[in-house]
Amino acid sequence: MGRPRLPGLTQFGNQRTPTHDTLASPLRAAQVMNYGFVIDNRSCIGCHACSTACKSENSVPLGVNRTWVKYTEAGRYPDVRRHFQVTRCNHCEKPPCVAICPVSAMIQHEDGIVGFNGDSCIGCKACLQACPYDAIYIDPDSGTAAKCHYCGHRVEVGLEPACVVVCPTHSIIAGDLDDPESEISRVRAAHETTVRKPEQNTLPNVFYVEGEQVNLDPTLTQRQPAGMMWSEVVPIHDTAGPIQWDNVSQAEHMVQVAYNAQHKVPWHWQVPAYMLTKSVGAGLWLLLGLAALLGTVSHHTLVVAGLVGLVSIGITTVLLVADLERPERFHWILLRPQWRSWLTRGAFILMGFSTLTGIWWVAEAFMGGAPAVPVLAGLTIPLAIGTAIYTAFLFAQAEGRDLWQSRLLGPHLLVQAVLAGSAAWLVMATLDSSLSLGLPMETVFAVALGVDLLLCFLDICLLPHPTREGRIAARDIFAGRYRHHFWGGSVMLGHLVPAVLLLVGGQALVVASVATLIGLYCYEHAYVYAPQDIPNS
């Protein structure tokens, strides 16, 4: 809904001062606004008054920021210049954080402001992955997501955001972008402005006058192993030479990021582990469903292999809950679902899959459920496929991680499920010769092994990535900090060693299968971490 406005005066703290411009013109006070910011880099002095006012006004804890000033130094001594950039939430017209949130904790108001509701947040950190600007953080006190909300509590009573009022050079201009008479519209009309990452098509509503590309695009500088200007800063960037753009020099000057903040890795080891256990459970039940439809699976096999599959899915659920910052709220995904989110859809797919397979296993183990097998198998197969691949749609909603936008991810996850399921099966079948699916499982394993290796190379090494962020993440996997996970863990241990052991057969199949599962985890670890290492601010 549109919010009431009181144009004319702005109050901050105990001061009551005239505004530089009214927040809304009287003629538009009753209409729905479209709020945004213009940052005038010509006059910004990098004083951090906006950062301080934001922290004071909104009680932002130490170590996280809703507004911060990025410093980048460029040039050759003695002709060096420091560039400043006020950095914050862009209040996008198409905010990916709102779409991915499973419980509607991220909210887009009709006036263009993107706010949040910490009382609804479960701390899944998906919004941090979706934001291409590093604007969202997890509050260390509440364990819930937070960000700039345009000082909504002030805007509701007609006051400008605290950062606007405190800026000594009036470099931050707030107002209604749709009102041609507002100051923000006049400034945009009079000057050329730029936005951060326009290629993401989020339509940001924070515009920069004379925005410097070395500040707007964090990929134009490299990572920095040491600290910067203040010890509490998360290390992000460094260069030892000219700006590089896909290994081609784009400028003859040097660049050094002197200060930045906010970037962190939200998802940790639980996520690659969950992807592995999910693949095992989905793959096993997919194979069981196919064998049941063909009438080649035995009662004993269903009970033993089905139990392993159920335990794998149970571990998957535990890992998902463990990665939440507010795990006691995990059930809110089921009670307060936001259906555009693939976290929500995936949770229901996972719940439906585990419920159906649980019913099938109980019927088989305790009730002699042969008459129901064809129906249960027919329902299990599509749910197993959905369980295997829904993560591809979730990762696609994480628009801040370009490597995850690959169209190969869905098919790759399905192949991984078949590979993980067949590997788990070979371990069980080698240890218990009475188990039988009636399928050529060694052949299934070998084919899945080859296809998975091909997809690994296609997705990481061979096919082009359309964005620099995607290319940087891919290079980090096959030639950078995760090369040992990729070449040693995934390729060698996870694929080539099992291929050789397949030729040996017998007990060597156990080693081959275990090596494959370890290799799958190594690949998932690199695939999950590498895009998160790339800063978006």
**Distance between CA atoms of 429 and 450, rounded to whole angstroms?**
21
Task: Report the alpha-carbon distance of residue 352 to residue 342 in Å, rounded.
Answer: 15
pLDDT, average across residues 83-99:
95
Top-ranked range on mean pLDDT: pick from 6-20, 425-439, 487-501: 487-501
User: Which of 366-380, 416-430, 499-513 comes out lowest in average pLDDT?
Assistant: 366-380
- Structural domain ending residue among the three candidates 183, 218, 253: 218
- Residue pLDDT, tens place only, 351-384: 999 999 999 999 888 876 555 667 888 899 999 9
User: Do 289 and 364 meet the contact criterion of CB atoms below 8 Å apart?
Assistant: no
| Amino acid identity for residue 487 in this structure | W
* Residues 339, 210 share a domain: no
Residues 418 and 511 in one domain: yes
pLDDT of residue 427: 95
pLDDT at 74: 78
207 and 306 within one domain = no
pLDDT at residue 232, rounded to an integer: 41
3-class SS at 51? helix
Q: Which residues contact 486 (CB under 8 A, 6 or more apart)?
A: 456, 460, 477, 478, 522, 523, 526
List the domain range (segments joined by +) for residue 75: 9-218
| C-alpha–C-alpha distance, residues 349 and 480, integer Å | 36
- Predicted local confidence at residue 295, as pLDDT: 86
Q: How many CA atoms lie within 13 A of 230 on its CB side?
A: 8
Predicted confidence band at 17 (pLDDT cuts at 50, 70, 90)?
very low
Which CATH number is 528's domain given?
1.20.1630.10
Give the position of tokens 């582990």.
273
Does the pLDDT at position 287 exceed 80? yes
Predicted confidence (pLDDT) at residue 245 exceeds the cutoff of 60: no
The least confident of 11-25, 111-125, 178-192 is: 11-25
- Alpha carbon of residue 63 to chain centroid: 21
Q: How many domains does the chain have?
A: 2
| Strand 35-40 to 206-209 pairing | parallel
Tell me the Cα Rg of the chain.
27
Among the three residues 203, 218, 233, which one is the final residue of a domain in this structure?
218
The label of the residue with tokens 């932002």 reads 60
68 and 176 within one domain: yes
277 and 200 within one domain: no
User: Is residue 159 domain-shared with residue 292, that is, in the same domain?
Assistant: no
118, 246 contact by CB (below 8 A): no
The answer to whether residues 196 and 279 belong to one domain is no
Cis bond before residue 498 (omega within 30° of 0): no
- Domain assignment present for residue 241? The answer is no
Among 9-13, 85-89, 528-532, the least confident range = 9-13
Q: What pLDDT does residue 12 have? A: 32
Give residue-wise pLDDT tens across range 172-202: 999 999 999 999 999 999 999 999 999 999 9
Which residues are bridge partners to 68 per DSSP? 87
In a domain, 251, yes or no: no
Give residue 537's pLDDT. 87
Within-domain flag for 265: no
pLDDT at site 220: 76
Question: Global pTM?
Answer: 0.88
Residue keyed to tokens 């397979």: 357
The answer to whether residue 492 is domain-embedded is yes
pLDDT at res. 371: 56
Terminal Cα distance for the chain, rounded: 31
Of the three residues 178, 203, 218, the one that is the final residue of a domain is 218
Could you tell me what percent of the chain has a pLDDT over 70? 87
What is the per-residue pLDDT for 369? 58
Q: What is the pLDDT of residue 363?
A: 86
Q: What is the pLDDT of residue 240?
A: 41
Specify the pLDDT at position 439: 87
Identify the weakest region by mean pLDDT among 99-103, 137-141, 238-242, 243-247. Answer: 238-242
pLDDT of 490 over the 60 cut: yes
Q: Tell me whether residue 300 is in a domain.
A: yes
Confidence of residue 16 (pLDDT cuts 50, 70, 90): very low
Co-location of 278 and 183 in the same domain:
no
Tell whether 162 and 308 lie within a shared domain.
no
Has residue 499 been placed in a domain?
yes
Are 297 and 213 in the same domain? no
C-alpha–C-alpha distance, residues 527 and 273, integer Å: 12
Q: What is the per-residue pLDDT across 40-63, written as a single tens digit (0 to 9) for each?
A: 999 999 999 999 999 999 999 988
Cβ count near 294 (within 10 Å): 12
**Nearest one of 271, 283, 311, 316 to 423, comparing CA atoms:** 283
Mind giving me the DSSP string for 458-510?
Answer: IIIIIS--SSHHHHHHHHHHHTSTTHIIIIIIIIIIIIIHHHHHHHH-TTHHH
- 80 pLDDT more than 60: yes
282 and 160 share one domain: no
Q: Is residue 260 part of a domain?
A: no
Confidence of residue 256 (pLDDT cuts 50, 70, 90): confident
Percent pLDDT > 90 in the chain is: 72
Does residue 239 carry a pLDDT above 50? no
**Does residue 188 share a domain with residue 337?**
no
Average pLDDT, rounded, for the chain: 87
Question: Residue 225: pLDDT band by 50, 70, 90 thresholds?
Answer: very low
Residues 428-466: tens digit of each pLDDT = 999 988 888 888 999 999 999 999 999 999 999 999 998
Does the pLDDT of residue 5 top 70, yes or no? no
Helix axes 270-294, 409-431, angle to 10 degrees: 70
In this structure, is residue 186 part of a structural domain?
yes
For residue 222, name the pLDDT band (cuts at 50, 70, 90).
low
Position 408 confidence tier, pLDDT thresholds 50, 70, 90: very high
CATH number of the CATH domain containing 193: 3.30.70.20
What's the confidence (pLDDT) of residue 19?
36
Q: What is the pLDDT of residue 506?
A: 86
Whether pLDDT at 26 is above 70: no
